[in-house]
Amino acid sequence: MSRKTIQVTEQEMAEQREAARRVREIEDRPKSYFIVTYGCQMNAHDSEILAGMMDEMGMTPAAAREEAELILFNTCCIRDNAERKALGNMTWLKELKRQNPRLVLCACGCMIQQPRMAKVILRQYPFFDIAFGTHNLHKFPSILERALETRRQVISIEETDGCIAEGLPCSSESKITSYLSIMYGCNNFCSYCIVPYVRGRERSRSEDDILREAERLLEGGTQEIMLLGQNVNSYGNDRDDGATFPGLIRRLDALGVPRLRFMTSHPKDLSEELIEAMASSKHCAHHFHLPVQSGSDAILKAMNRIYDRETYLRRVESLRKAMPHIALTTDIIVGFPGETDADFEDTLSLVERVRYDSAYTFVYSPREGTRAAAMPNPVPQEVSSERIARLIETQERISAEVLAGLVGSEQRVLVEEVSKRDARQVAGKCTRNITINFDGDESLIGSFARVRVTAAGHNTLKAELVSAEDKEAPEWP
């Protein structure tokens, strides 16, 4: 793949900045905005970029949806319920629009990128002013300009493999923890998953662009960077400049990012080199999110996951050998077509064996256009419900045991906020990505602290302060 075809040119980006400037000069443009975000971290980060664009267009964030002059829905379609939720909430806006015809309603994101959605918006949501897909996010200023000038519905959905747009604004640059996208799209085509269809092919940003963005984030006060991509450990595979994920980790570690996380990884690409890069790094968190999806070889094969149970367990072993205290988390789907009781028992036994800190668990949801949607032997809803309940019960027991096992240990916490439940306490995450609350005041926010865990709660830990911690201190003591 030629890099030229996927990188948006500087001239096109300049045109968008020009469009943003013109929107700022439109007298009756919306002055405030509210974004409703569904789905994963990539969407959350896209919303930060969209907010940055709207700031540039002279708008300010509204405190509530009802107070905004522009409402933007950034949608998700990974499962049917995500889609139904977004469509349901979009329907509610009809009344708001009737009361205030100047209100600008926009929808974007993965759900909109699906081929059938243009028609749905046109027919069922004529009160929406704008709909644009994931591939056109960088064109939001010119799309909005067109809608404001014509006062007609603008639908902009491009069917491409996707692109990389550098230099977009972002509204979050002074946050304690920040997202940083290193790649977009996915080539894996897991048979149940719609992501490759709505996010396009894998395309990796250049190491230099990523390093520059990381430097900017650090200058803005960021203490933790979460590298984002659908499949971060295949970072660089689409480039011809030798860039690799372990190499990128080493460069970011050397830059001195106080804490480095990444998400999500595919087990098939988890190399010994990456494990070594993490283990020898100073700043990588002791946490690995490694979606397994199923513990059954037959189901993994039908899911097109490329690895089998034994390979997965071997990689878990390698991770733990190199980093004995590493926390593992995962994603699991139950009720995939053809999943038998024995297949499900294999999933349960894998969960018992790995002992994850936590797991995101899902009932399989057929997605139009994916291979699994056409597979025979659907699992009845009541069977899936029973299986997911058993899975959750098993994982909750293990999570509680893992948390209880941490009582008495010392942890390095990045303090992020005053605790939600008790204003005399602050809360932050330890390297395992578990929230820890401890007595302390606001002045600690944004700094690292060493704490001793005193009790385990439900998904969180309580602790007492031991000492302030240097941000240069290693994640691995």
DSSP secondary structure letters along 425-452: EEEEEETTS-EEEEE--GGGTTSEEEEE
Q: Which among 36-44, 190-198, 218-226, 409-417 is the span making contact with ligand SF4, rule CB under 6 A?
A: 190-198
Could you tell me which of 159, 158, 89, 81 has the C-alpha nearest to residue 128?
A: 89
* 192 belongs to the binding site for ligand 5AD (CB under 6 A): yes
Alpha helices in 100-174 (DSSP H): 110-113, 117-124, 140-150
* 196 belongs to the binding site for ligand SF4 (CB under 6 A): yes
| Binding-site member from 20, 186, 193, 303 for ligand 5AD (CB under 6 A) | 193
Q: Classify 384 as helix, strand or coil.
A: helix
Residues 95-154 that bind ligand 5AD (CB under 6 A): none
Minimum distance, C-beta of residue 403 to ligand 5AD, in the bound complex (Å): 23
For residue 451, how far is the Cα from the chain centroid? 28
| Binding-site member from 140, 197, 344, 364 for ligand 5AD (CB under 6 A) | 364
* 331 belongs to the binding site for ligand 5AD (CB under 6 A): yes
Residues 367-386 that bind ligand 5AD (CB under 6 A): 367
**x/- binding map, residues 344-363, to ligand 5AD, per CB under 6 A?**
------------------x-
Residues 264-303 that bind ligand 5AD (CB under 6 A): 291, 293
* 234 belongs to the binding site for ligand SF4 (CB under 6 A): no
Report residue 304 as tokens: 């097109």
* 446 belongs to the binding site for ligand 5AD (CB under 6 A): no
The answer for residues whose C-beta is within 8 angstroms of residue 11's C-beta and 6 or more apart is none
Where residue 336 falls (left for φ over 0; alpha for ψ -120 to 50; beta otherwise) is beta
| Length of the chain as a residue count | 477
Report residue 405 as tokens: 């096992």
* 229 belongs to the binding site for ligand 5AD (CB under 6 A): no
* 93 belongs to the binding site for ligand 5AD (CB under 6 A): no
Q: Which does 179 bind (CB under 5 to 8 A by kind): ligand SF4, ligand 5AD, none?
A: none
Rounded CA separation 382/395 (Å): 20
Q: Which does 231 bind (CB under 5 to 8 A by kind): ligand 5AD, ligand SF4, none?
A: ligand SF4
Q: How do beta strands 327-334 and 287-289 pair? A: parallel
Closer Cβ to ligand SF4, 77 or 348, answer by number: 77
The residue count for binding ligand 5AD (CB under 6 A) is: 12
Q: Which does 364 bind (CB under 5 to 8 A by kind): ligand SF4, ligand 5AD, none?
A: ligand 5AD
| Binding-site member from 104, 193, 270, 436 for ligand SF4 (CB under 6 A) | 193
Q: Which among 137-145, 187-195, 219-227, 446-454 is the span making contact with ligand SF4, rule CB under 6 A?
A: 187-195
Closer Cβ to ligand 5AD, 165 or 194, answer by number: 194
Residues 256-285 that bind ligand SF4 (CB under 6 A): 266
The answer for residues whose C-beta is within 8 angstroms of residue 190's C-beta and 6 or more apart is 293, 303, 304, 305
Handedness of CA 219, 221, 223, 225 (dihedral sign): negative
Rounded CA separation 59/56 (Å): 7
Rounded CA separation 195/39 (Å): 12
Residue nearest to ligand 5AD (CB): 331
Residues 40-79 that bind ligand 5AD (CB under 6 A): 78-79
Residue in the structure block whose two tokens are 């015809």: 101
Could you tell me which of 176, 227, 204, 194 has the C-alpha nearest to residue 41?
A: 227
| Binding-site member from 231, 296, 365, 431 for ligand 5AD (CB under 6 A) | 365
Q: Which does 189 bind (CB under 5 to 8 A by kind): ligand SF4, ligand 5AD, none?
A: ligand SF4
Closer Cβ to ligand 5AD, 156 or 365, answer by number: 365
The answer for residues whose C-beta is within 8 angstroms of residue 407's C-beta and 6 or more apart is 453, 454, 455, 456, 461
| Binding-site member from 20, 77, 227, 333 for ligand 5AD (CB under 6 A) | 333
Closer Cβ to ligand SF4, 13 or 375, answer by number: 375
Helix, strand, coil percentages (3-state) for the chain, rounded to 5, are 40, 20, 35
Q: Which does 10 bind (CB under 5 to 8 A by kind): ligand 5AD, ligand SF4, none?
A: none
Q: Classify 463 as helix, strand or coil.
A: strand
Where residue 313 falls (left for φ over 0; alpha for ψ -120 to 50; beta otherwise) is alpha
Site of interaction with ligand SF4 (CB under 6 A): 186, 188-190, 193, 195-196, 230-231, 266
The binding site for ligand 5AD (CB under 6 A) comprises 78-79, 192-193, 291, 293, 331, 333, 362, 364-365, 367
